[in-house]
Amino acid sequence: MADLPVMIVTGGSRGIGAAIAQRAAKSGYNVCVNYTAAEDRAQEVVKAIRAGGGEAVAIRADVSKPKEVVRLFEEASRARGPLRALVNNAGIDFPSSLAEAEIEAMHKILDTNLFGPILCTREAVHRMSTKSGGHGGVIVNISSIAAVHGGMPGDCVYAASKGGLDSFTLGIAKEVAAEGIRVCAVRPGIIRTEMWQGQLSEQEVEEAGRRAVPLGRVGEADEIAGLVTWLCSDQAGYMTGAIMNVSGGREIFIHN
């Protein structure tokens, strides 16, 4: 098989990340499925991609740790083909009121959700930038509609991390546009993923979709994946610095 363009998907072992990885493989990428602890889940994603005729590899790395981020990109560089896309998807949340939040938990949220994408983007720019001999590329940050409205009660630190990611998206998009790199972000709303487990029951999530989303339902991970793969395609070649809501219109209810 000819060399394929490489895409790194952080947090690619489950939920939105897994959906993006599988969509990207179908779009012709050699996908590096990053994970932190769930090796079995990451290998399941890789297996599914290969069963469909695609190419993928699982790479363990904690994106909040600089040395592990460097190793992630070094291992990804051994994949056949040039790095052409990075999806900063890895994210965590420990819901709690600010007054009761543990300092360590707050650091972990900010380190994973904000510092991690900054670290990964830095490594990607080193490799993609035409100023460094690269061939350009695309970076897509997975934000959250919580960045717009501050999140649900107990999620203000998580919302702050995503608000920072939005600002970073805009800033770095301006910084690297002349180097052949496009940077965009996607803000998912209430999506059917495991992140909701421990916060709301499945029934409560479905009810939230009916009550708090103009389209009247919860979104699916593949609906995010479809937009992400499109943003990485030539069809979106005139887009950078764009932050797109995929929330069923939830922000309309919040604003009104």
Homologous superfamily of 6-199+221-247: NAD(P)-binding Rossmann-like Domain (3.40.50.720)
H/E segment holding residue 108: helix 103-110
**Active-site option among 29, 35, 158, 238:** 158
| DSSP letters for 159-201 | HHHHHHHHHHHHHHHHHHGGGTEEEEEEEE-SB-SGGGTTTS-
Which residue in this structure is represented by tokens 């350009």? 136
Other CB atoms within a 10 A radius of the CB of residue 5 amount to: 20
Q: Is 35 a residue of the active site?
A: no
SS3 at position 138: strand
Q: Distance of alpha carbon 56 from its chain centroid, rounded?
A: 17
Q: pLDDT digit of tens for each residue in the chain (256 aa)?
A: 458 999 999 999 999 999 999 999 999 999 999 999 999 999 999 999 999 999 999 999 999 999 999 999 999 998 878 999 999 999 999 989 999 999 999 999 999 999 999 999 999 999 999 999 999 999 999 999 999 999 888 899 999 999 999 999 999 999 999 999 999 999 999 898 876 655 667 787 788 778 888 888 999 999 999 999 999 999 999 999 999 999 988 888 765 4
